[in-house]
Amino acid sequence: MKPSLAKGTRDFTAQEVSRRKYIINILQNNFELFGFQPLETPSFENLSTLTGKYGEEGDRLIFKILNSGEYASKVNQEDWDNKNHQKLISQISDKALRYDLTVPFARFVAMNHGKLTFPYKRYQIQPVWRADRPQKGRFREFYQCDADVVGSESLLQEVDLVQLYLKSFSDLKIPVTIHMNNRKILSGLAEYAGITDKLIEFTVALDKLDKIGKEGVVKELLEREISQESIDKLEFLFNQSDDALENLLQLKEKFADSEIGLKGVEELEFVLTQSLNLGVDMQNLVFNITLARGLDYYTGAIFEVKADEVAMGSIGGGGRYDNLTEVFGVKNIPGIGISFGLDRVYLVMEELNLFPEEATTQVEYLFANFGVEGTVEALKLIMQLRQKGISAELYPENAKLNKQFTYAEKKGIKNLVFVGEEEIKNGTVTFKDLTIGEQKTLSLEEFLNL
């Protein structure tokens, strides 16, 4: 059998694991600095928990898990013959791998709301799965790093999450732009164009502007039975100025008869103004009126983060979802959250060569193996180094020195240490710095206190 990977998955080498941990540690530190507490949820949920939360396209990408046992024997033959897919799915699968971390979080809040202190702030760093078509920066198994606040309607939460994004990407040294919009503005646009009954179809098509361009969006809107007259009223969407506040002013005029649209403008204006008052550079914030983030559960602010110097999709995103726990029978728990795409952040940092040397785990010392007597003394020194938090290992076989050198170089070990007959007799250690080729002999005390 020829070994292979499932499409859209990857193995991670030691260097890749270390670099991913470097990113995660920075994010985790910032999450906790901003008052978020950790949470973990199961890798799979009841299928009913996940379906209906991500829109039509999202639901199709959920990885369903076949029921254990003789599940096929329980299939209704009539449903099979008629290819009634929805009924067939309910008969053979009642669980699924989580699609994101937000819906499982909402389920957790609904189950535990009586025990939580609100506003409740949690962060979560775990893998998710989507049956998507793999491409650069898009995988079927990937990590999300989420920070959410539930139990508060205050727009100061949006302002705080903007700060969290900017600080985290600044610490990672990635120049970014945060694209912002508000779901209420999109509802206002639908009212303005007379397509309120087509809001979901409108936002799903609009969200694809970056991928398929204006012509593609218009074509899709027509295919979704949105009239040319309504599309013509929305023509201004594709010709926005670079001044966010000026664009919001233009919307106020168009939303004169739309209460929800004006509310969205007011909310976004507050977040932008407060962020600027806190010293955020306006160049880092963009009011993107076509940003829709095609998830049905967003109700207010929506965010998308893009790297300035790398051509890639979003490396972060999120928004407000004030009704999500209602589907689990718990009302009046508003929420807002953001997510960092670990895998895309990694690719951006790799392309821009932003990983510092310390982001790669390396063994500091390799002790050469000269046989039984030298091995015992070497192991004693290795134990003392490890107690001081210094990584060290002994080459396991008494092999030719050239082979041990090659092992150290290939593994990226910085120093090769010799504890031979002469060193044991004199109470010294000889080591060679393989990065510069310099060799030194020191006393045991001097070596252990380097």
Task: Please enumerate, by residue number, every residue annotated as part of a binding site for L-histidine.
Answer: 100-102, 130, 144, 148, 293, 297-298
Quote the tokens at residue 154: 């205050």
Which residues is 121 bridged to in the sheet? 149
Cβ atoms 201, 224 nearer than 8 A = yes
Q: Measured between alpha carbons, how far is 208 from 393 in angstroms, rounded to an integer? A: 53
Cβ atoms 355, 23 nearer than 8 A = no
Q: Which residue has the tokens 């292979």?
A: 4
Q: Measured between alpha carbons, how far is 58 from 48 in angstroms, rounded to an integer? A: 14
From the list 107, 103, 113, the residue with the least C-alpha distance to 339 is 103
From the list 240, 248, 239, the residue with the least C-alpha distance to 271 is 248
Question: SS3 for 247?
Answer: helix
Q: Measured between alpha carbons, how far is 336 from 119 in angstroms, rounded to an integer? A: 11
Quote the tokens at residue 268: 């976004």
Residue 158 CB coordination number (10 Å): 26
Question: SS3 for 432?
Answer: strand
DSSP string, 393-422: EE-SS---HHHHHHHHHHHT-SEEEE--HH
How far, CA to CA in Å, does 81 sit from each of 86, 92, 409? 13, 15, 63
CA dihedral 349, 206, 181, 131 (to 10 degrees): -50
Tell me the binding residues: 100-102, 130, 144, 148, 293, 297-298
Q: Which residue has the tokens 């990407």?
A: 169
Cβ atoms 316, 305 nearer than 8 A = yes
Quote the tokens at residue 306: 């893009």
Q: Residue 357 gets which letter from DSSP?
A: G
Cβ atoms 41, 105 nearer than 8 A = yes
Quote the tokens at residue 99: 């699609």
Residue 381 CB coordination number (10 Å): 19
